[in-house]
Amino acid sequence: MAKKASLRPLGDRVVVKPVPRDEKTASGIILPDTAQEKPQEGEVVSVGPGRILDDGKREPIDVKVGDRVLHAKYAGTEFKLDGAEYLIVGAKDILAIVE
Predicted confidence pLDDT, tens digits, the chain (99 residues): 455 567 889 999 999 999 876 666 566 676 665 545 566 899 999 999 999 999 999 999 999 999 999 999 888 999 898 888 999 999 999 999 998
In terms of Cα–Cα distance, which of 97, 39, 40, 38 is closest to 69? 97
Per DSSP bridges, beta strands 84-90 and 77-81 are: antiparallel
Q: Which CATH superfamily is domain 13-18+39-98 in?
A: GroES chaperonin (2.30.33.40)
CB burial class (10 A; 0-12, 13-18, 19+) of residue 2?
Answer: exposed
